[in-house]
Chains A and B, each alone.
Chain A
Amino acid sequence: MNKVLDTIISKLYIAELFNYLNNCIDIVIGAFNTEALSMEFVWNTIAAFFTIAIFSFLIKDNTLYKIAESIVVGIAAGYFTILLLWTSFKPKFWDMIVVEGKWWYVIPGILGLLMYFRFNRKLNWLARYPLALYIGIGSGIAIPLMLQTFVIKQFKATMLPGNLHSWEGVNNTLIVIMVLAGLIYFFFSVPHKGIVGKTATFGIWVIMIGFGASFGYTVMARVSLLIGRIQFLLGNWLKLIE
């Protein structure tokens, strides 16, 4: 009788054991199918690891931070090289010559290769030719562009109708006075004495208000980035917040 009971119990135990194992397998398979162990979670965990590694610098400089720093150096160099290869080198150089048959695009290629003569002591003067072309084109483009964008357009935007009868008119008048005062501060060909000195002093006040505003704005932008990273850790990664 006992033997029969033992057999039944052991069979029951085995059955329970099988049930238990089955449940375990279901849990594991289920876990893999849930969002918790999806690829998105894996990538977010990697991003969270590097985020925490960088934040660890707040305690002190450490190995984890240096590892993240070294990785970002390699990834940045590799990414931008590949980006340049497929978005600039291929369409603007390779395809122009091979696909479109514009043979004259070989010239900037040769000039680009001349830059490597910088490593040769006898022929390093050849590297000046591409540099000269680069600076020549850059300067030629910069002269009208800088005057148009940074001088003419700025003056045009400043010289709006001003009066003392409306709030907008007062502000338009004020901005003309403040821009001129700021410019006089930067004008060193005349000694800053008398009326010029007083205007220059007002100009530096305006510039200081501008610096303060820019600083405040930068602080807000950095704090916003910090909030973004914390939101990523608590939201995207740990799903603790919506």
Chain B
Amino acid sequence: MKRRIPILIVSITGFLLTVQYFCPHPYSEAFYNNALDWLVIIGIFAMPLGIYSMVRIQFQKVARQESGWGFAVISLISLFVMLGLGYTPKCLEAGSFFMKLFEFIYIPIQATMFSLLAFYIASAAYRAFRARNLLASIVLVSAILVMLGRVPIGMAIHPIFPEIADWIMNFPNMAAQRAINIGLGLGAASTAIKIVLGVERSYMGFE
């Protein structure tokens, strides 16, 4: 009851969903669409768990007056302001105060945080790209050629740089990405098969 039924549910649903891919019948497609909806609904019910966990941690920080508890208050206020403003579906319309907060606070902060990486990636590149051996040198040369080919100064130095960058992106880079993707696909599919067959059970906390 506690162990076998969950494994049975995984095997039956996994088998049915795999088989339906090869059956182009309207019933099969309806089953697939329903399964996708169920997946989304179960996922939605997990969302409050995350919010509860966040609120509990922040409240604990405030209650215990831990260092930086003021920032926890700010997080909680911004969370409850957003939840309060989102009481109607109209809040998602362009120009609403809810969307303005998202557009003029969330997006600039996220974009700036990612742009900060431009500074830190330079120091990371220095450490990673020191030509200590052949493989590091290959990475270094490839990265420099791609960067030179993508900026106007590369074109100014020699018109061949953009062509080299394109060739690297379209052939060796593509080949590497394909090799990685094929390995990834085979790995993911074999793990999924092991789960459906009940060989892999660690996700349930079973050995």
Contact = CB atoms under 8 A, between A and B. Distances in A.
Interface in A168-182: 171, 174-175, 178-179, 181-182
A143 B135 CA distance: 35
B9 A132 contact: yes
B139 A211 contact: yes
B45 to A, nearest CB: 3
Contacts of B5: 129, 132
Contact of A208 (B6, B78, B139): B139
B109 A209 contact: no
Contacts of A107: 38
A212 B111 contact: no
Given A79-B82, A147-B189, A174-B171, A89 B108 contact: no
B157 interface: no
A86 B125 contact: no
Nearest to A90: B89
Interface in A80-97: 80-90, 92-93, 96
Interface in A116-174: 116, 118, 125, 128-147, 149-151, 154-155, 157-158, 171, 174
A71 interface: yes
A219 B178 contact: no
Contacts of B153: none
B2 A136 contact: no
A46 to B, nearest CB: 5
Contacts of A105: 37-38, 41
Interface string A182-215: 1101100000000000000001111111111111
B196 A136 contact: yes
Contacts of A226: 115, 118
Size range of the chain B interface in the assembly: 35 or more
A18 interface: no
A216 B144 contact: yes
A44 B107 CA distance: 12
Given A43-B104, A144-B21, A186-B183, A216 B146 contact: yes
Contact of A139 (B14, B48, B113, B121): B14
A67 interface: yes
B140 A212 contact: yes
Contact of A219 (B106, B142, B147): B147
A150 B192 CA distance: 14
A114 to B, nearest CB: 9
Interface string B100-130: 1111111111111111111101100100100
B196 A86 contact: no
Interface in B30-53: 32, 35-51
A58 B68 contact: no
A179 B176 CA distance: 6
B10 A132 contact: yes
Contacts of B115: 222, 225-226, 228-229
B185 A147 contact: yes
B109 A81 contact: no
Interface stretch (A5-13, A19-27, A47-55): A47-55
A197 B55 CA distance: 54
A235 interface: no
A68 to B, nearest CB: 6
Nearest to B50: A77
A87 to B, nearest CB: 7
Contact of A222 (B92, B104, B121): B121
Interface of B: 2, 5-7, 9-18, 20-22, 32, 35-51, 54, 68, 71-72, 74-83, 85-86, 89, 91-92, 98, 100-119, 121-122, 125, 128, 135, 138-147, 150-151, 167-186, 188-189, 192-193, 195-196, 203-204
Given A215-B143, A217-B146, 11 more contacts: A78-B79, A82-B98, A112-B42, A115-B45, A128-B6, A134-B43, A136-B13, A140-B18, A182-B178, A216-B144, A225-B118
